[in-house]
Structure 1
Amino acid sequence: MSRAAGWPGGEFDAVFCRPNEVDRPVRWIRPEHPAPPRALVNDPVRRYVIATATGKLVPQVRRYAAEHLAEPERPSAYVVLPRLPLTPHGKVDRSALPEPATSRPPLPYPYEAPVTTVEHQVAEVFAELLGVNPVGLHDDFVQLGGDSLLAVRAAVRLGQRFAVEVPTRSVFTMPSVAQLAAWLTTEGAARPAVRQPATVVDDRAGDSTGAVPDRLPLTPSQILVWMHDLQRGLGVVPGPECTVAATYRVTGPVDVAALGEAVDALVRRHEALRTALYLQPDEGYQVIGPPPRSVLRTASATHADAAVVLDRLQTDHPLQPRSGRVFAADLVSTGEVRHLLSLRIHHMVCDDRSLHLIEQELTQLYREIRAGGRPRLDKAPSYRSAITQATNPQGQRPPDPADLVYWAGKVTGVQPLELVPRSHLSGTDLAHRTRVRTTLVPAPEAEPFLRAARDARVTLYTALYTILSSIMYADTRDADIKLFCADAARPTDELDRTVGLFLSPLLMCTRFVPGRGLAESLPAVGDELREALGHDSLPLLALCQQIPELLALYGQSQAVVFETLVPPAGLALADCSVQRSDPFDPDFAGRLCQIPTDLTIVGREEDGAIRLCGLYDEAFAPPSYVDSVLARMRELIVTCGNDERLPLDAAIQPDPWLAALRGWDG
């Protein structure tokens, strides 16, 4: 609905368009003598328009989204407004948009209250996770705003509440309260009980003897990252440059004292940001330290050398993971209203989702402190508790025998990934150093490809995985695609609000089928990936201990990693404009991160465009090869997005450098 500026009195036209009728909107014609423009409550026509939009349009839009959008891309809530709030400049004032209501949304069936105790408990779990109250007996989890991440949490909470093993997929196959309650009462009762985690002692309280344990073990995610480093003899993980970082070009009057106080408050909140890492080949552990003060470092510079001054700050004051300096904030000012801010966090205590959390909380802390108030954020979950639950066998669910059978079958007869011939690597004398290459597929070129992914009901992750698989097949002629992938889903609310490295690495094994186009490949690859993610009762390290073939495949494969990132949350500072950049952006002003990888390909959607990045070890491959991978991915995105029937393998050629190394003709 939009204000019809050409109508007297500033009335509204309500435009209800079907997908095939975009050029023929239906307009609600107002009475000849309308009421005053703001008299919505006394205007029956306006009330009718709002009621119609809420009662009829929203369910239709929800159904349309379910038919045409992949589940993670669908809106979780719909809000009908009589007008969009505008700034004095005529742009949408996003800060004035109302929060979605917590009441039950309009659904195509009436509310029916739960009856049995089990139904009431399932409804309570849905209500807590989705922020909707009340939840009816036949209300659908997805229609209430649920997504894949919330489904994981729902399965965990139901499992804990009923002491049974609840597969995540059951939340989608039995999405209503009635269906899940019936399953929990019958089949669910026969499943093995969930082992409850051991009681965790607060890090400040100590145990019954008054002693507080100092050393905490590394989590499985941390061990895997460190193992990659040790296997390749890189030595980057214990160093200061294995980071997750972002820089922010700020224009406006920054309250430096308030920003410094907000940074200190952030470090006090999150134990991971003050955790010392002890990493030796024969031993690894971590120790949570006391909150430091005056974490924000400041410097002045002319506009021309702000980046140079920032680089000098970061060189002179590197991260020191062994001493607990795993977080750094640096601010370089070039006058009263121009600033360059940098955040660096050691990768062993932070991942991309944690950086988003840091940005969100720093935004709120700065706003509240600058306004003279006390920070009102809820207490952050304990990092110590997260470590304990990740490393305590009593707190982990028992392995599903079907998962062991599945993964054993996936790796049987599969050869380790050898993208670059080992004979070539053994002769190189280049130093190990991570570099970055990047390219952008503009929105108009990316749109057909993204539309194809939506039509196939797959995520950007699946779509780009399909494209990269084609490149791997062309460059190796091996139809068994092996890629290390990272599942960033947080299984609990507590982890979602905790800074740390909580990725769940996977060694994904899929089969490339020559002759298939994008239209046929996307749903097939999507099914393969969903099936793999469904067999997740054991982390990769535990699977390797159970399946020797998987351990051999993991240990002998080159570290070629693929992941997609969600659009960044960004940092907002009151009365300032902020331009964010990170190592995947060409204009990133910070120091490049060093990570234990041979080649990592990253994809991220940016306002309809697709950013493709390659982080690579220059001792593994030259920049020309990484450019070739990104260029061919872009070519496939554009070409096959416009012709979904064109076979992927026919649309791409092997890289000439690798072809020459392998001795391929032509």
Structure 2
Amino acid sequence: PLEKLMPGAPLPLLLREQELSVVSLTPAALAATSSEGLPAVRTVISGGEALPADVVARWAPGRRLLNTYGPTEATVIATFGEVVADGSVPSIGKPLANVRVYVLDTYGQPVPVGVRGELHIGGVGVARGYAGRPSLTAERFVPDAFSGEEGARLYRTGDVVRWRTDGQLDFVGRIDAQVKVRGFRIELGEVENALRAAPSVKDAVVLAREDAPGDKRLVAYVVGESLDVSALRAHLKQHLPEYMVPAAFVPLEALPLTSNGKVDRKALPAPDASMLRASHAYEAPATPLEEKLAALWSEVLRVPTVGRTDNFFELGGHSLLATQLVARVRAALDVELPLRALFEAPTIAALAEKLQRASTGTRLPPLTRTRTEGPQQLSFAQQRLWFLDQLAPDDASYNLPVALRLLGHLDVEALRRAFEALVARHEALRTTFFEEEGQPFQRIHAPAAWALPVEDLSSLEESTREAETLRLATSEARRAFHLVHGPLLRTVLLRLAEETHVLVVTMHHIVSDGWSMGVLVKELATSYAAFSAGSEPSFAPLPVQYADFALWQRQWLQGETLESQLGYWKRQLAGAPAALELPTDRPRPAVQSRRGATLPVHFPSQLTDSLRSLAQREGATPFMLLLSAFQLLLSRYSGQDDISVGSPIAGRTHAEAESLIGFFVNTLVLRTQVQPQSTFRQLLAQVKATTLAAYEHQHVPFEKLVEVLQ
């Protein structure tokens, strides 16, 4: 009967009845089956998915436990190793005879011991390909550059592994299980392995969930006894950086399984509000003001409920979200809340008390749709880019390019319509610029059909195809825009294979910024999903457009208001050095070349954790702490004690601006006096005060500051 084959109570009975000595089961089946009272079972073979350490602890003692790994494309089993119950994450062993394995980086080169890479499998067991799917075959079965055998191929598994010093392989996770949360790329398998190593955890699965639009969080589903969320967090912080620690932990009696015994990730439930909060108990808001603040925090932080003792920064808040909260407090409560108030009173209870004592202060006028039809004024930032474009018309320095590799079936017409809808929705993307009587203006054009050029490279050899893709994408990114003729958004689609494309999108900075890129990607994805499903996307109407902001800025920042705002910066930057004299290996050029490079730097998780803890103890953000260290470093190298650093700020101080595509970003000059007799704590306190004051005077455009201060 079928129930005899199911894990749980009937399976041990079957093993005893048949006196089986060798069994092969998935880890999920082993986890759901008792290992007691099975003296005949001498060898256990695990395969099909990652083997948790607690399953090893139950099944390995007194018998042989083999952990196997291998995809169907490599004739099922490619590596195996015997594992013991030592508490560590079990390896997937070494390759079988006639199997070759390579751990390669994104450029197809071998990686050193301990470094993550994609597992490639070669040898006689590698399949010929996928029946009737030549493009997918070409993508996954690649030429073997290492064996020296003519015509040999490697199968790209899509699995992330790393070599151990003993020559065995550790399984980390799937490449397609890589997720990006708050800008960090995360291997879900690495988080799961760290969780499974916790003493009380029997098994765990981690997902990146987006249960509310734009609110992506890591959620851990944990099977174990007497689970302590605080202890789990502490355990993970010892082994992982802060950004890889899940926001919520959902305890389960058992992980849901599919019919073939693997974890059914789609059946995992969404976490409830209590799981998403900090580790302390929930305390309900006690007054109507606290209730209003809690609703605003919930909206900004995307947390279902907020208690009166919850800490804004512990719930995921940072200075950018704090700016959004200030905008909402202004609109809802008619109070101008200084940003520093949130740092001084980071809980609902403390902030409500501060608001009750707050004076109205200088309030920002509302951002509304007030402009008339016809040519519009430029914002201060746009005017600066217009001026620079007149000096160097063919300069591509202010291009904002992005190239996205799209895998799988692509509905090209749905993608074209998505861009068309995006441009129709955002006036900035159909704006051009012109000059009249010596003054620049912007002209907003009517919505029109959008063309998405497609360049077919699928007939080229693979190496030639990749090189040509890079050449075309680079050429497109460096091609200058014409501000008068437009358009200031360009798109091109490169077709590499039937199910492989590269989308190249380029915008001019005069109509966009980094925040806008997030708006663009989110709306584009929503529209594409709707059009490809045969429906229309539904967005809430935009309350204002970028030209409304430009007019608002011009009307507000003038007269006494401008002089008051400028007064702070005049005092703050009086006598600041004109340049930072860093010792360099060559003289500073008369004209900036703009040639440069990026060098990624990785800090150990223990260091980042200690930095975050120090910042929190001092009531500062990690940005303030790192800025302090950076300015101290510049002071030591330059021999100067007066250090000014330019830093970008989003500039979206009204809630109405958060959903717009446009050029809002501003530059703040953060000046610090580095005094040798001071402690680092005193330096951090100075930087914190300077940064908060700069946030409160962020409305003065950098362009106006340069003009006034020369």
TM-score class, shorter-chain normalisation, is: 0.5 to 0.7
The number of residue pairs the alignment matches comes to 499
Q: Which residue of the partner structure matches residue 319 of structure 2?
A: 148
Separation in 2 of the partners of 1:427 and 1:222? Answer: 27
Residue 329 (structure 1) shift:
0.7
Q: Which residue of the partner structure matches residue 380 of structure 2?
A: 220
Deviations 1:292-323 (A, max 9, x none): 313311122332533445566678x8633223
Residue 375 (structure 1) shift:
1.8
1:363-382 matches, within 5 Å, as 363-380=525-542, 382=544
Residue 133 (structure 1) shift:
4.9
Deviations 1:464-493 (A, max 9, x none): 645654664466432222222111364344
Deviations 1:491-525 (A, max 9, x none): 34433321112112111212345699xxx75x555
Alpha carbons 1:69, 1:455 under 8 Å: kept: no
Q: 1:235 aligns with which of 392, 403, 411?
A: 392
Q: Which residue of the partner structure matches residue 178 of structure 2?
A: none
Deviations 1:247-286 (A, max 9, x none): 1233433222222122212222222211113369942332
Alpha carbons 1:273, 1:349 under 8 Å: kept: yes
Alpha carbons 1:218, 1:284 under 8 Å: kept: yes
Residue 327 (structure 1) shift:
0.5
Query: Rg larger in 1 or in 2?
Result: 2
Q: Which residue of the partner structure matches residue 594 of structure 2?
A: 434
1:548-563 matches, within 5 Å, as 555=710
Q: Which residue of the partner structure matches residue 659 of structure 1?
A: none
Are 2:696 and 1:537 aligned?
A: yes
Separation in 2 of the partners of 1:485 and 1:406? Answer: 17
Q: Which residue of the partner structure matches residue 360 of structure 1?
A: 522
Q: Which residue of the partner structure matches residue 175 of structure 1?
A: 346
For 2:333, the aligned partner's letter is F
When residues 340 and 323 of structure 1 are mapped into structure 2, their CA distance, relative to the original with a 3 A threshold, is same
1:245-394 matches, within 5 Å, as 245-278=401-434, 282-301=438-457, 302=460, 303=465, 305-310=468-473, 319-380=481-542, 382-384=544-546, 385-393=548-556
For 1:480, the aligned partner's letter is D
Alpha carbons 1:272, 1:500 under 8 Å: kept: yes
Are 2:578 and 1:416 aligned?
A: yes
For 2:524, the aligned partner's letter is L
Separation in 2 of the partners of 1:78 and 1:397? Answer: 49
For 1:167, the aligned partner's letter is P
For 1:220, the aligned partner's letter is F
Residue 169 (structure 1) shift:
2.3
Alpha carbons 1:450, 1:460 under 8 Å: kept: no
Residue 358 (structure 1) shift:
1.6
Q: Structure 2 length as normaliser, TM-score?
A: 0.58
Q: Structure 1 length as normaliser, TM-score?
A: 0.61
Residue 356 (structure 1) shift:
2.5
- Identify which of structures 1 and 2 has the higher relative contact order when contacts are C-alpha pairs closer than 8 Å and 6+ apart: 1
SS where residue 354 of structure 1 aligns?
helix
Alpha carbons 2:294, 2:307 under 8 Å: kept: yes
For 1:78, the aligned partner's letter is A
Higher strand share: 2
When residues 167 and 66 of structure 1 are mapped into structure 2, their CA distance, relative to the original with a 3 A threshold, is farther
Q: 1:7 aligns with which of 25, 31, 34?
A: 31
Are 2:360 and 1:194 aligned?
A: no
Separation in 1 of the partners of 2:532 and 2:511? Answer: 28
Q: Which residue of the partner structure matches residue 573 of structure 1?
A: none
Deviations 1:569-620 (A, max 9, x none): xxxxxxxxxxxxxxxxxxxxxxxxxxxxxxxxxxxxxxxxxxxxxxxxxxxx
Higher helix share: 1
Alpha carbons 1:156, 1:492 under 8 Å: kept: yes
Are 2:294 and 1:128 aligned?
A: no
Q: Which residue of the partner structure matches residue 502 of structure 1?
A: 664
Residue 393 (structure 1) shift:
0.7
Alpha carbons 1:69, 1:454 under 8 Å: kept: no
Residue 243 (structure 1) shift:
0.9
When residues 473 and 9 of structure 1 are mapped into structure 2, their CA distance, relative to the original with a 3 A threshold, is same
For 2:365, the aligned partner's letter is Q
SS where residue 648 of structure 2 aligns?
strand
Q: Give unmatched runs, 5+ long, in structure 2.
A: 1-25, 36-51, 58-86, 89-193, 204-220
Are 2:267 and 1:111 aligned?
A: no
Pick which of 162-171 and 346-355 moved more: 162-171
Separation in 2 of the partners of 1:474 and 1:494? Answer: 43
Alpha carbons 1:244, 1:344 under 8 Å: kept: yes
